[in-house]
Structure 1
Amino acid sequence: MHAHTSHAGPKQASVASPRADTHRDDLDGLRGIAIALVVGFHIWMGRVSGGVDVFLVLSGFFFTGMLLRRVDATDTVGVGQTLRRTARRLLPTLFVVLAAVLVITAFTRPYTQWGDISAQTLASALYYQNWYLADAELSYAAPDPSVSPLQHLWSMAIQGQFYVAILLLVALWAVLTRRLRPFPRRASLLLAIAALGGLSFWYAAAGSDRHQAWNYYDSAARAWELLAGAALAVIIGGLRLPTPIRWALGAFGSAAVLSCGLLIDGANLFPGPAALFPVSAALAVILAGAGAGRLPWPNRLLASRVCTELGSLAYALYLWHWPLLIFYLAQNGKIAPGLSGGVLIIGCSLVLAVLTRQLVEAPLRLRREVADLGSARYRRAVGVAVVGVGAAVFVAAFGWQMLLRANPPHPPRELDAARYPGAATLLDEGIAQVQATMRPTVFEAAADAPAPTYDGCITPNREVRVCTYGDAEAQRAVAVVGGSHSEHWLPAFELLAREHGFRVVTYLKEGCPMTLSDQPSYAEFPFPECREWTEEVLDRLAETRPDWVFTTATRYRMHADGDEVPPEFLDVWSALSDRGLRVLAIRDTPRLRRDGVLYRAADCLAHRGTAFTCGMPRDAALDPIDPAVEPASAYPNVFPFDMSDAICRPDRCRVVEGNILIYRDEHHLTASYARSLAPEFGKRLGALTQWW
């Protein structure tokens, strides 16, 4: 969010733009409007405004323009000097915000979240937060208490990676083209930038059609937005646009920036072709203000005092507003802050942004600003303090990560049934409750996962991976198919397969219940990769012909209580029926949520919760009757069954039963609890399959 708008000397100014000898106040104002949209849409609209895409274009434009002015003035980009200057502008405020997030997390959030926050702190400080989020399959969600307070720093990571890449590109170009005349020299750079931008745009377009959750954070997919600004920095000095065209560009660009978030759902579409809208808007505003003559009226409005002052706060305001929003929602247990809460968050963010700019940014940026703050002594003190804060951030985050690595979780592989009856306590009233330490513990919970999570048999991509568990030589076979909610039954299947002699063959893909739709009704964004994977799996099943196909039959209602059978599931049942395959259709596991917000059982227990208070009313999680029963009656090959009574009590779904933690996160069973379900699970399977 930081524009590099340094003043240039006469020779430098002639390179980047006819107006480069004057400060582009209108672009400072554009940053101000963009940050206002980002903050407002995050707080009250719960969606993407397009403001970040505008920032990316501006960053590419300013940074590349600055490099070109240096090359024309000195014939070199000064790699070391540029890196130092950029770090001095970006890191102090970032370290202050990261330190604040760590402190607030330590005092207000459950200690089970410290590991993830410390990991994301390191990712943010080292500018790879976008890859951390992409690898963790964390789609860019609307703010709620379950979202990371550092999620927004993905864009800073991408900008930092771009700065290094374009710096090296321009440095190499400056050396290789030193003997060329000015026009072909500049044209060669434009050609390289255009080629890279075109490849990035093609990659982003393909990614948005296949895996949007990854694509949103992918640096390669985002690069074209920054390169668009970079390309404009290369050519803008030679442009002479007629006044009417400049005015039209200014009007279009300003209107498009303001309307983008209302017209386009960016979280589901950017940085694919839909991002051409905010990118073109930013380019239009830049072009409208270039050249001699009076600025068009939209640009004059952007150059007003209010917009430019807001623009000067853009970087700090962007860094502060999101953590304050997430911590506010978490502390108040709300999914949205409302009008008064939003005003409070904006007010606090503005105050912190002003203080950060005046007390941290300004003293370290330019020496002439020191006089306004007292003396050079203050500047040195701020520098020392920032270094200390940065060191503290790294020591705290890295230290906690090392502590976790030195004490890795060891979830139980086998528990004494007398002390840890688990699901049996819900099914057999004669079982006496015995005092025992809960297993897995809150630190072990996330690691208490089924085998495919660790052996790679659940795929994160388009590949169809087939694995076999249980009795590998057995003739009878059950195919466990779908996403992680099919996977988490595998520990029970493994026990039964060894006992009764059958194979369990898995076809699993992360986040992918079987579907024949590019964007199922329950999906937040298009996921054609899931549909393609499902089609191939159906063909494989038709060839291998397992005795039974096991998959989930229901799903929670996203915007209401209870559960349902999505229509896309019926399409899959029909496809399986057409192939002559019999289906064991299990009712999905209840998901832990309050007021529509998912929460992790371990976090709740670590935050002074109990098995009861961390649970939820059964009627909020499940309909009174399995919703799969009625639609399944139309499919002779589909046999629905319901294990909910072995997970929930008649009135409440608790998070611990029989001394075993049920959930390893918000909605997946721990492997330990799944194993405790095996006896009852076996009874249901035996009755349906007639195998025992």
Structure 2
Amino acid sequence: MHVHPSTDRGSASDFSAAVHDAPVYVSERPAPGTESPGAQNRPPQRRDLNGLRGVAIALVVVFHIWLGRVSGGVDVFLTLSGFFFTASLLRSAQAGASLNPVTRVVRVLRRLGPPLLITLLAVAVASVFLLPRTRWADLGDQLVSGVFYYVNWQLATTANDYLAADPSVSPVQHLWSVAVQFQFYLFAIAVVFGLAWVRRRVRPDGPRSLRPRTFAVIFFAIAVVSFVYAADGVQRHQAWNYYDTGARLWEIMLGATVAAVFAARSTGPRREDSERYPRVSSTARGVLAVVGMTVIVVCGFVVDGVTDFPGPLALIPVLATLALIIAGSETAVAATLSNRFFAWVGSIAFPLYLWHWPLLIFYLAVTGKPHADVLGGLGIIAASVALAWLTVRLVERPTQSTTLTPGRIAVTTCAAIAAIAVTVGSIGWNIYIARAISAVQSSGTVVDLTHPGALELTDGIRADPADVSPPLYSAPEDLPVTTLEGCIADFETRDALSCTYGDVNAARTIVLAGSSHAEHWVTALDALGLQHGFKVVTFLKMGCPLSVDTMPMLGPNEYPDCLDWTQTVLSDVAAMAPEYVFTTATRPREDAPGDYTPTWYTSVWRQLAADGVGILGVRDTPWLAYRAIDCLADGGTATSCGIPRDDALDSVNPALASSFQLQGFSALDLSNAVCDVTVCRAEQGNVLIYRDEHHLTATYVRTLTTELGRQIGSATGWWSGP
């Protein structure tokens, strides 16, 4: 399944600590008459902005459940969190309060941690009963990263860039923005309190912190750098960019900049809105608020944030949010947002966000539906609201007590137990899987009589049914040696990373070059190199088949790093002068059955041929639209979890034409070693074929060694037979 960035999986929390402060400006100095430097005369709350949170969470939930698009709500939350939390920090620093960062972090964790941890424990328990074991390993990693607030990096690293909710999506995938916001809070505390501490040390008798306008300049400069980085990331690797804290930071820092500007313009704790906006008429503020609110509501219908956020188009919801902040609390829109309904929804926004997404995913997993219908969606919303209300009453409110009440102690204890249970359980399961896959990989061989794999199709070896190898739950870790040893370049790397396998001292060389679909052949090539005396030099890059005259695409986005990497590889290959380059020769059609050979593949082959290098073009193996291991774990069969051959492959290998047109090109086709006449199964000869949607297990590729050896020997003339 080819997937794209998450649909609006942002946190609704703004982290409660920040929201409860919710100032509209920050006083530069302690209010006259304060009893201590740390005592703060808090400015009035912006109840309309709390209501805006209610609108935003409603948009997020509706768009998640029924529309499958980005609503822009996540960007509203990020901007508000920057405004709220930074204003609170600035007020503390200006008032001469303590700059102890631990106190501030503990305060945030006390409000945020318990509801998050209890939700994670509930998800873990539900997953044991509702999700196949094949998904537990990935989910375990995500649960642990959720506990420690780095789930956004976990999702980015594993390319969890989903297009929309479906049963295969992680039930905690939405927590990436909770991690982003928490990381921002640590960063903001370090910047504001750190600079205030330096100021107090350098000038003990002067102002207690830098001026707010100085902070405004600093925040805006950070926002500009982050914005440029995000705009570049949209073009380079959107799946990573979507989760990247650095790419998201500009949205939060613009909110922080406005908070600093408000602080700079304030002259006292009781300054009214009309004094705060002396140059803007009430009519202009009203129009600004209406425009801002309208843009937030319609954003998701007109902007494809899946492929464009947090790039420049994210300015639309961000600027709309800033417009509502700047418009003030005395507009008609603000009055509407301040009513009891929106205020109540805003008050349960964080737990509502926490609960609605896993409930949606579990509903889809149990029902087998690809999307929620009207009644199902209403049921999810009702259950989410009920759980959110209970979470506020039983979890959030007790933890807000400033003293160690029995309720606070009980909730904190439960949260700690939840964190330990989730972490220990997840790590324990992953250790079990690691041991299972190590046992498979350490053997390095396949027992032909019990697990013939591809030999069942190519050599007619039949075996009685036996436990599949590798086990379903460990299949995703049955990886080629190049991945295990870090010999494949990631999406951002343009350098031609190279490793050598096979007979490393041999005079003959085959270069293995291309994407991960070229990579999974290294297991068989390594064995053949040792057997027949040639070395295998790898040039591999994630998602990057060789291309010279056409911009490669990574999903819907251009992939310029791939183009640069290919040029470097071809230059290195020309200098190396190997006998052959082994690479993929076909790819699946995107909108029709079968496979084809792109013209940009043949352009590469012509360049290699011109350099005197032979080409071994292997037909790509069939792609599935789902993880076969999940299908098998849910009770499917090897046939039902496979794909009809006519859907995956043309009747004739499309690369054969190049065999007649291009001297030095040989077309290799192992389709008959993966598929029979009618179907490409998920398992063959007691060996699992796929480790994910479209990559072969290293174990199955090992059983392909004999047939690949026959074809390479025939093409090169280096040997005869297998």
TM-score relative to the length of structure 1? 0.89
Partner of 1:2: 13
- Counterpart CA distance in 1 for 2:293 and 2:702 is 59
Given the alignment, which residue of 434, 454, 461 partners 1:423? 454
Q: CA deviation at 1:567?
A: 5.5
Give, in angstroms, the shift of residue 170 of structure 1: 1.6
Contact 2:145 2:151 in 1 (8 A): yes
Task: Decide which of 263, 266, 274 is 2:305's aligned counterpart.
Answer: 266
* Corresponding residue number in structure 1 for 2:9: none
Give the Cα separation in 2 of the matches to 1:632 and 1:288.
68
**Offset of residue 580 of structure 1:** 5.6
C-alpha distance in 1 between matches for 2:601 and 2:28: 63
Match of 2:319 in 1: 280
Q: 2:353 maps to which residue?
A: 318
Q: Does 1:663 align with 2:677?
A: no
Instruction: Give the alignment partner of residue 150 of structure 1, picking from 172, 189, 203.
Output: 172
Identity of aligned residues (%): 43
The match for 1:343 is 378
* RMSD over equivalenced CA pairs, Å: 3.2
The counterpart of 2:627, out of the listed 595, 599, 622, is: 599
Aligned to 1:537: 569
Give the 3 Å change call, closer, same or farther, for CA 565–97 of structure 1 in structure 2.
Answer: farther
1:85: Cα distance to partner? 2.2
Question: 1:139-182 deviations in whole A, cap 9, x for unaligned?
Answer: 35422222211111111011111112211222122222344458
Say whether residues 1:548 and 2:586 are aligned partners.
no
Asked if 2 retains the 8 angstrom alpha-carbon contact of 1:212 and 1:526, the reply is no
Query: Quick one: which amino acid aligns to residue 55 of structure 2?
Result: I
41-50 vs 318-327, which moves further = 41-50
Going from structure 1 to structure 2, the CA distance change for 1:616 and 1:542 (only over 3 Å counts) comes to same
Please say if residues 158 and 219 of structure 1, whose CA atoms lie closer than 8 Å, have aligned partners that are also in contact: yes
Task: Provide, for residues 297-327 of structure 1, a one-character-per-residue CA deviation record: whole Å limited to 9, x for no partner.
Answer: 3333333443333222221122112212222
* Secondary structure of the corresponding residue to residue 433 of structure 1: coil
Report the Cα offset of residue 27 of structure 1.
1.0
**How far apart are the structure 2 equivalents of 1:360 and 1:39?**
22
Deviations 1:265-299 (A, max 9, x none): 32323223332222222212111116xxx32x333
Q: Which amino acid aligns with 2:471?
A: T
Asked whether the equivalents of residues 519 and 525 of structure 1 are also in contact (C-alpha less than 8 Å), the reply is: no
Per-residue CA deviations over 1:337-357 (Å, capped at 9, x if unaligned) read 344433333332222222222
Query: In structure 1, how many angstroms separate the alpha carbons of the residues matched to 2:396 and 2:658?
Result: 62
Of residues 223, 245, 249, the one that matches 1:197 is: 223
Aligned mates of 1:9, 1:188 — CA distance in 2: 19
Q: 2:292 corresponds to which residue?
A: 253
Indicate the residue corresponding to 1:508 in structure 2.
540
Residues 445, 385 of structure 1: alpha-carbon distance in 2 compared, 3 angstrom cutoff: closer
Q: Identify unmatched segments of 5+ residues in structure 1.
A: 371-375
1:529 aligned partner, one-letter code: D
Structure 1 pair 394–489 and aligned structure 2 pair: CA distance change class (3 A): closer
Partner of 2:252: 226
Change in Cα spacing, 1:524 to 1:12, as seen in structure 2 (3 Å) is: closer
- Cα contact 1:16–1:233 (8 A) shared by 2: no
2:74 to 52, 56, 62: 52
Asked if the contact 1:28–1:308 (Cα under 8 Å) also holds between the matched residues in 2, the reply is yes
The structure 2 residue matched to 1:68, chosen from 64, 71, 90, is: 90
Change (3 A) 1:249 1:566: farther
Give the superposition deviation at 1:198. Answer: 2.9
Residues 340 and 530 of structure 1: is their aligned pair in 2 closer, same or farther, counting only changes over 3 Å?
A: farther
Equivalent position amino acid for 2:581 in 1? V
Equivalent in the alignment of 2:706? 679
Corresponding position of 1:452: 482
Kindly state the Cα deviation for residue 5 of structure 1 after the two structures are TM-superposed.
2.6
Which residue in the other structure is 1:373 paired with?
A: none
Distance change in 2, residues 1:344/1:264 (3 Å): same
Structure 1 residues 222-621: aligned runs within 5 Å: 222-237=248-263, 238=265, 240=277, 241-243=279-281, 244-289=283-328, 294-295=330-331, 297-365=332-400, 381-401=410-430, 403-404=432-433, 409-411=438-440, 412-429=443-460, 431-460=461-490, 461-516=493-548, 520=552, 523-566=555-598, 568-573=600-605, 575-576=607-608, 581-593=613-625, 598-601=626-629, 603-621=630-648
Query: In structure 2, what is the Cα distance between the partners aligned to 1:537 and 1:315?
Result: 49
Q: Which runs of 5+ in 2 are unaligned?
A: 1-11, 32-40, 266-275
User: How far apart, in 2, do the equivalents of 1:385 and 1:623 lie?
Assistant: 57
Alpha-carbon shift at residue 98 of structure 1 (Å): 0.5
1:315 is matched by which residue type in structure 2?
F
Looking at structure 1, the residues matched to 409 and 310 of structure 2 have their Cα atoms a distance apart, in angstroms, of 41
Shift of 1:521: 5.7
TM-score by length of 2: 0.85
Q: Distance in 2 between matches of 1:337 and 1:32?
A: 22
Distance 1:11 1:433 in 2: 75
**Counterpart Cα distance in 2 of 1:31 and 1:332:** 31
User: Cα 1:101–1:525, aligned 2, differ >3 Å: closer, same or farther?
Assistant: farther
Amino acid at match of 1:689: T
SS at match of 2:468: coil
Aligned amino acid, residue 211 of structure 1 = H
Mapping for residues 100-139 of structure 1, pairs under 5 Å: 100-139=122-161
- Give distance in 2, aligned partners of 1:456 and 1:163: 33
